[in-house]
Amino acid sequence: MPKTLTYCPICGHTLGSRAEGGRVRQACDNCGYVHYVNPVPAVGIVIEMDGGLVLIHGNTEEIVRAAVRHPLTMI
């Protein structure tokens, strides 16, 4: 059974529904978050340097949002 959410995991506002990607999905009218229930294999990498500096390559805002939605684990 697909997981349903009551509140947006990004901003905390109540989720509504809207057509997105050819289906009706839960979505936040406040921040634009769309809750997709279709896990896709992905790879994430974090490089930590001495002194605690972490390097992230790419669109950092989207990387942070993705990390909140899909926490990385070690395999």
Residue 31 lies in a domain: yes
SS (H, E, C) 27-71: ECCCCCCEECCCCCCCCCCCEECHHHCEECCCCHHHHHHHHHHCC
Rounded to an integer, what distance in angstroms lies between the CA atom of residue 24 and that of residue 46? 34
Is the model's pLDDT at 28 over the cut of 60?
Answer: yes
Q: 30-54 pLDDT, tens per residue?
A: 999 999 886 666 666 666 777 666 6
pTM over 0.75: no
Rounded to an integer, what distance in angstroms lies between the CA atom of residue 10 and that of residue 57? 21
Residue 3 lies in a domain: no
Residue 7 lies in a domain: no
Domain extent, residue 23, equals: 16-69
Give the residues across from 27 on adjacent strands: 16, 34
